[in-house]
Structure formats: C-alpha cells, structure tokens
Amino acid sequence: MSFPLVVEPFQEDFQGHLSWANMGNMTLRIASLHAEAHGFGVTYMKEYQRGWVLSRLAIEMNAMPASLQGFSIATWVSRIFRQFTDRNFEYRDADGRIIGHGISTWALIDYQSRQPINLEHLPNGGFSAAVFDEVPPIATYSRVRVTSPQLTLSHRCAVSDLDINGHVNSIRYLDMAMDMLPIEWHREHRLHRVELAYGLEGRCGDELEIAMQPLDALRFAFEIRRPADKAVLVKALLSFKDGI
C-alpha cells in the first residue's frame, strides 16, 4: 500500500530538503494508516486499550525530496513472530524512482497489563492476510555500543518532546543525536542511514545524557541515557556520505 505525500513549507531542513525528523514522523504516520486499513490501527487501539510500540527502526535514503516536491511511501508487513512484527518501507520520488528503504520492528502492548500481545492470536488472523514476504535491499540492524564517548551532552525532557502517550516522541531522539554534530559537518556531509533501537521511555522532566562515539570517518554511534537510574533509553547509529 502506497501513500502520496508532498514536502510542505516548514517541513524542510536548513538546506531545503525534507528534514529527517519529518521523514521519520511521516514514516510512522504511514505505518499507522496501513494498520488502520487492516483493522489494527487507532480504532482498534481505542476499543481494546492497546498500542503499537516501536522497537527498532532503520531508514536509508539515497536522496531526500526538496520543498514542494511530491514523493510517496509504501509500507507492508513482511513477518509476524509472536510478540513482534516486521514492517518495511519503500520511498519513491515524484517520478516513481526509488530513493530509499526502511525496516522496522514493532510490538503490540496491552495498556492495562503493560505486556506484549501475541500477534498470532489477533482477531480474524490479524495481519496474516496482508503479509507480503519481501525484504528491502538494505542491511539489517547493527549492534550499537558506546564504550568511549568523544562527546557527551545533557538534555532535559520538556513538553515539546512528548507524544500523545506522554513519552518522548520516538523521532525526537533522532534530533538529539543529529544536534550533536555541528552545522559545518551537515553542510559537507549527507545523512544516508539512520538506525534507532528503543529501550525504555523518556518522560517530561527526565534529565538525559547523550553520548557520541565516532566509529569511523562517516559513522557515529549514540547512546541516550538516563543517569538517575543508569538506564539506556535509545541507541542510535548515523551513517553519512561525503557531499550533499
């Protein structure tokens, strides 16, 4: 299932292309629309007090659409395995050319018990009728570990960081990681691939520590931690290419 979109004014980054934060949020929105179309979106969540939780996300873009340009995001579920499901994405420009791919892993949580739901037992077979066994031609998730951070910054979670559940928005962590690198770096390098691995949820008032460690000339690993209880909330890996 494919969804047409347009890069609206104020959705761009400082170089005039769709910002990574907006691309990330659009990607999650398309996932929600696809789930709703198959009976397991917002309507189902409200009735059964359940919610989808993002566990892993990787997006790899060869080009990013510019202001006022059209593009599309296609999504499909490729695998269901008990408590998790793999959802994939394909990004095309206005001419239909593939410009990127994405992979993600999700769990369905019961809000009352806070426990994951067995996806094989969803009503009417769940997504089983919509599973399309095709995997995007990009690398799977990496193992990210920050052992010797080169730079560490602090961030206090505020109202503007939060989503409808009162937790820090999943894509907001990407902003925190990108902001660790100076604007001069972003002027000379293009962000090519983003990986995010989610652990615990951040809440308003949390004091976070963002640690960055270069892995090589174009790859940077990040850990977003909560020093108060020594918890790692998110691990991230940003991979760049020379030039824009």
The whole model's pTM is what?
A: 0.94
Tally Cβ neighbours within 10 Å of residue 141: 17
What is the per-residue pLDDT for 124?
Answer: 67
Residues 6+ apart with CB under 8 A from 178: 20, 186, 191, 238
Residues 6+ apart with CB under 8 A from 205: 156, 157
In the chain, the percentage of residues whose pLDDT exceeds 70 is 97
What is the per-residue pLDDT for 125?
Answer: 63
Residues 6+ apart with CB under 8 A from 216: none
How far does CA 134 lie from the centroid of its chain?
Answer: 20
Cα separation, 18 vs 74, whole angstroms: 17
53-87 pLDDT tens trace: 999 999 999 999 999 999 999 999 998 888 899 99
Highest mean pLDDT: which range of 113-117, 161-165, 211-215: 211-215
Instruction: Assess whether the region 2-130 and the region 151-242 belong to the same CATH fold.
Output: yes
175-216 pLDDT tens trace: 999 999 999 999 999 999 999 999 999 999 999 999 999 999
Cα separation, 76 vs 1, whole angstroms: 7
- The pLDDT-based confidence of 103 (bands split at 50, 70, 90) is very high
- The pLDDT-based confidence of 48 (bands split at 50, 70, 90) is confident
What is the per-residue pLDDT for 132?
Answer: 77
- The pLDDT-based confidence of 40 (bands split at 50, 70, 90) is confident
**pLDDT of 172 higher than 70:** yes
Residues 6+ apart with CB under 8 A from 114: none
How far does CA 4 lie from the centroid of its chain?
Answer: 19
Q: Determine the CATH number of domain 151-242.
A: 3.10.129.10
| β-pair partners for 209 | 154, 225
- Mean pLDDT in the chain? 93
The full set of domain ranges for the chain reads 2-130, 151-242
What is the per-residue pLDDT for 43?
Answer: 85
133-150 pLDDT tens trace: 788 999 999 998 899 999
Q: Determine the CATH number of domain 2-130.
A: 3.10.129.10
Mean pLDDT (whole number) for 91-103 = 98
The answer to whether 146 and 213 are in contact (CB under 8 A) is yes
